[in-house]
Amino acid sequence: MRALYDRLKQLFPLGEPTWQRPDLAFVTVPAEFLRPALLHLRDREGYTHLVLLTAVDWIEDEQFQLTYLLSNRTQARDIGLRAMIPRDAATMASIHELWPTAATYQRELREMFGIDFPGSPRIEEDFILEGWNDIPPYRRDFDTLKYAEENYSQRPGRETHDPATHMKQQLHPDGR
Amino acid sequence: MSMKPELMKRMVKGPDGVEFEVEPLRDYFCEAPPTVMPAAYSRIVEDLFNWARAESLWILGFGTGCGAIEMRPLMTPRFDAYRFGVQWRPTPRQANLFIISGYLSTKTLKRAIRSYEQMQNPKYVIGLGSCTINGGMYWDSYNTIKRLDDYLPVDLYIAGCMPRPEALLAGFQELKTIIRAGKAEGANKYAENFEWYKANQKRVIHDWDMPDYNW
Reported as a pLDDT band with limits 50, 70 and 90, residue B61 is: confident
Q: Do B142 and A154 touch (CB under 8 A)?
A: no
**Selection from A48, A55, A98 nearest residue A73 by Cα:** A48
Q: Do A151 and B204 touch (CB under 8 A)?
A: yes
Q: Is the pLDDT of residue B24 over 90?
A: no
Question: Hey, where are the domains in chain B?
Answer: 43-203
**Residues A71, A103: Cα–Cα separation, whole Å:** 18
What is the least distance, in Å, from the CA of B142 to any CA of chain A? 5
In a domain, A161, yes or no: no
Confirm or reject contact between B139 and chain A (CB < 8 A).
yes
Domain B43-203 class?
alpha beta
3-state SS class at B11: strand
As to burial, measured by CB atoms within 10 angstroms (0-12 exposed, 13-18 middle, 19+ buried), residue A60 is: exposed
Q: Is the pLDDT of residue B210 over 90?
A: no
The CATH number of whichever domain residue A123 belongs to comes to 3.30.460.80
**Residues B19, B14: Cα–Cα separation, whole Å:** 6
Q: Which residues 131-150 on chain A approach chain B with CB closer than 8 angstroms?
A: 131-134, 137, 142, 144-145, 147-148
In a domain, A72, yes or no: yes
Q: Residue A9 sits in which domain range?
A: 2-154
Confirm or reject contact between B151 and chain A (CB < 8 A).
no
A158 to chain B: nearest residue by CA?
Answer: B134
Q: Is the pLDDT of residue A93 over 80?
A: yes
**What's the domain count of chain A?**
1
Cα→Cα distances B90→B63, B115, B126, B207, Å: 11, 11, 17, 27
Query: Residue A35's pLDDT is what?
Result: 93
* Omega cis (within 30) before B122: yes
User: For the segment A136-171, what is each residue's pLDDT rounded down to a tens digit?
Assistant: 999 999 999 899 988 888 888 767 778 888 888 888
A148 to chain B: nearest residue by CA?
Answer: B142
Reported as a pLDDT band with limits 50, 70 and 90, residue A176 is: low
In a domain, A136, yes or no: yes
Report DSSP state, residue B137.
G
User: For the segment B153-182, what is each residue's pLDDT rounded down to a tens digit?
Assistant: 999 999 988 899 999 999 999 999 999 998
Is the ipTM higher than 0.85? The answer is no
DSSP A71-134: EETTTTEEEEEEEEEESTT-B----TTT-TTHHHHHHHHHHHH--B-TT-TTTTS--S-SS--S
B1 to chain A: nearest residue by CA?
Answer: A131
In DSSP terms, B89 is beta-bridged to B60
A155 to chain B: nearest residue by CA?
Answer: B134
Higher pLDDT residue, A1 or B124?
Answer: B124
* Nearest-10 Cα torsion for A30, A36, A41, A47: 90
User: For the segment B79-102, what is each residue's pLDDT rounded down to a tens digit?
Assistant: 999 998 899 999 999 999 999 988
What global pTM score does this model have? 0.85
* Nearest beta carbon to residue A155 from set B107, B147, B204: B147
